[in-house]
A = this chain, B = another copy of it.
Amino acid sequence: MEKFEVHVLGCGSALPTTRHNPSAQVVSLREKLYMVDCGEGVQLQLRRSRLRFSRLTHIFITHLHGDHCFGLPGLVSTFALLGRTADMHVYGPADLEKVMRPLLDYFCSGSPFDVIFHTVDTTVSGTVYEDRSVLVEAFPLQHRKPCVGYLFREKPTLPHIKRDMIDFLGIPHFAINDIKSGGGWTTAEGVFYPHERLVTPAEPPRSYAYCSDTRFVPELAETLRGVDLLFHEATFSEADAARAAETMHSTAAQAATMAKLAEVRRLLIGHFSARYEDEGVLLKEAKAVFENTLMAREGLCVSI
């Protein structure tokens, strides 16, 4: 199965602490890296992750709060210093380019690559990016600023060749791709072997959804239905539910309720408020509602 991983670079909330960096993740799918949110210090976290900088070509920003995008100028500057030449594509709400462009123009003039901004409509769901491996959809969240979540849907992969059948029938190498793509095989003796006898089915395409920052929005369950991994912010504990409502954030139990409603496979909680010395309470509250919950931490890599 090809690589599909989520690397947590930062899972704190607006106030960074010595335990947590501001929001940033990297989705590693096949040969590419896709960054989601880009909090301050992300370039250092990316270095710590040992992921290859050059594999990163697309960055998806959820909303324009500083803890989700202040790492962008430093990241772009460093890429310029490293002599990167591939363009960098940045997706986010309309004002992102307006606020970042002057800074990038000033500090990264003469950079050997371009930063290309793509405006994401924060009011409707829709595909914002597609390549041969993945389709990325944005969908509206509900926060104090216009905000979207991102859903990464792996493209279907080809089925696996049954090596023993290939060898037994002496099928030549050049025919393999055709068989993988749906073809059968006729032997020299005229016996036809249909596709299904020559392959085992591909794994079902996998999916990852990222929801931060948002209040609890039950209707989101339809968008998130059945994803393999759901990251949902869990800024507060139940004891601080009033604060969550006031700031348009979610509690750990609300994150878990969303996971349950949407029947996802696994839940990853993060975006922890600085007020919790030990986020164990958040994990406990989430697990009480949805057992298959993981707690984010810097450096965590979740394989999907």
Contact = CB atoms under 8 A, between A and B. Distances in A.
Contact of A99 (B16, B64, B106): B106
B18 A47 contact: yes
Contacts of A44: 16-18, 21, 40-41
Given A40-B74, A66-B73, A48 B18 contact: yes
B78 A47 contact: no
B66 A43 contact: no
Q: What band does the interface of chain A fall in when counting residues whose beta carbon is under 8 Å from B?
A: 20 to 34
A87 interface: no
Copies in the complex: 2
Given A18-B47, A66-B107, A103-B99, A40 B81 contact: no
A16 B70 CA distance: 16
Contact of A40 (B66, B71, B95, B108): B71
Contacts of A70: 70, 73-74, 77, 107
Interface in A17-46: 17-18, 21-22, 40-41, 43-44
Contacts of A86: none
Contact of A102 (B14, B22, B102): B102
Given A40-B74, A99-B103, 11 more contacts: A16-B44, A40-B44, A40-B71, A40-B73, A41-B41, A64-B106, A64-B107, A66-B73, A70-B73, A99-B107, A102-B102
27 contacts: A14-B77, A14-B78, A14-B81, A15-B82, A16-B43, A17-B44, A18-B44, A21-B44, A22-B74, A40-B40, A40-B43, A40-B44, A40-B71, A40-B73, A64-B106, A65-B107, A66-B73, A66-B77, A66-B107, A67-B74, A67-B77, A70-B73, A70-B74, A99-B102, A99-B106, A102-B102, A103-B103
